[in-house]
Amino acid sequence: MTLLISLLVTVLVIVLILYLINLLPIDGRAKQIARIIVIIIGILSLLRYLAVF
């Protein structure tokens, strides 16, 4: 149960950060780079919760 809650919180945080990045008044290239970084960090944290690393 704790694993499921941790995964859910992680996904919600990733979605929230991606939404906030879209609200930033910066150019498209910087937003794209920020999105990629957030997605990579999110995938790594999800893999850590699933005990892959």
* Statement: residue 53 has pLDDT above 70: no
Domain that holds residue 14: 2-49
Total of domains in the chain: 1
Per-residue pLDDT tens digits for 6-45? 889 999 999 999 999 999 899 989 999 999 999 999 999 8
Interatomic CA distance for residues 19 and 24, integer angstroms = 9
Residue 2, CA distances (Å) to 6, 12, 25, 46 in order: 6, 15, 37, 13
Q: H-type helices in 1-53, by residue range?
A: 2-23, 28-49
pTM of the model: 0.80
Tokens linked to 7: 């995964």
Residue 38 in tokens: 């957030």
